[in-house]
Chain A
Amino acid sequence: MKRLNLEFGVGLFLLLGLAAFFYLAIRMGDVGLLRQEGYTVTARFISSSGLKEGAMVELAGVRVGKVRRIALDPERYESVVTLAIEPGVQITEDTIASVRTAGIIGDKFIKLTPGGMDLYLADGDEIVDTESSLDIEELVSKYIFEGSDTAQSE
């Protein structure tokens, strides 16, 4: 009986620990044993500044995947972003991928704007139309300097 008690206690304790671990790993860490197999598409950006691996991919405001990998194309000096798209979400070939910011200083994410074609992208395909990230600093300085240029010319 004593032995049984000990094993029961240890078993209960370890189950609790494992349950806690799986809760953390699956809900927080997104590593599911039940992970559904999606597919990946790539997109080239002139600049993906601020985008991080694991960032969200949204279509019509709904989360449909995430950024799997960001790499540099050493020949064209472009950023090649690999997007993991959930299964069941089909993306048309003329979809536009743009790097957007949530709020003014929020996280960067990829926004997909679907087009009207009947052809859909398959695993490994590339999204041709892309918009790079908007650099707020650049925008502000552009606004300021262009403003002063026009003021001088007048």
Chain B
Amino acid sequence: MNPDPRPTSVRPMHPMHRDLRLTAVGRRYGIRGPWVLRGVDLAVAPGTLTRIEGANGTGKSTLLRLLARLDAPTEGRITGRPRTAYVPERFPSALPFTAAGYLTHLGTVHGLSRADAARRAAEWLERFGAGAYAGTPLTRLSKGSSQKVAVAQALLGDPELLVLDEAWTGLDTAAREELERAVAERTAAGGAVVFVDHDPGRLAGMPDATYTVLDGGLRARTDGGSPPAGPVTVVVVRGAPGGPLPPEAVRIALSTEETGPGGHRLTVPVSRSDVLLRTLLTARPPWHVERVEPAGAPPPDPGSRP
């Protein structure tokens, strides 16, 4: 089915051997329906964050459904089948499970053992501040809490490709920030993330690529994609003199600067600072973190969470 089993040359540590690739993809509904998308070429590489923009009804959701392989293209082809998780725009409450029961089922569907699935379900609910609702039937959850379940469902299997269709909508502030951190962790761990969100400031400065869906086609947005529009954090670290920074850390950071023998200053978006610190502290040999401080825009409490 996949004529494209490329050897894993990019990142030997990470499991996604095949990147997802759309070639001249078109989709329309019905035999004579209008084309929703046409001539779309897109590659989603491991470890990248991709943002899809576009006005309402332009086909963003259709594109995400194609990426998640929920839907097949009318023309063109899609290759690569990473382990995928999908967060729908609106999560239904009409399921006869408790939050923890549903997540345990979904965890096993994502390939975890039952015990692992139950443990990770509890962990993710806790992370999104919904730990108290673990035993609550989904039918009795508020819209925001259901959305937390929807997001937890996608994250608990450590997917190689995470597709988020306005996943932030309905979440409270703390959960929104948590989801941004989770996305940063996923990309740092070598997973690909594709998202649509109405908020232009969402994960600002982080996407490796931004595309706009316009008139059924897909355009790469090159302007203003990379400068850090969001708040950034400065991390000062020290390692063995002359030793290079871990390549992973360099990739996560917006900029790095050598301050002396073994000393480095890294600038990183706030949402990625946790991931950067983890990378540095778990590197071999480990790096000593001297200082974490806000920079640029006024972030009150970088690096830690409320």
Asked if A and B are interacting partners, one says no
Interface residues, chain B, with chain A CB atoms under 8 Å away: none
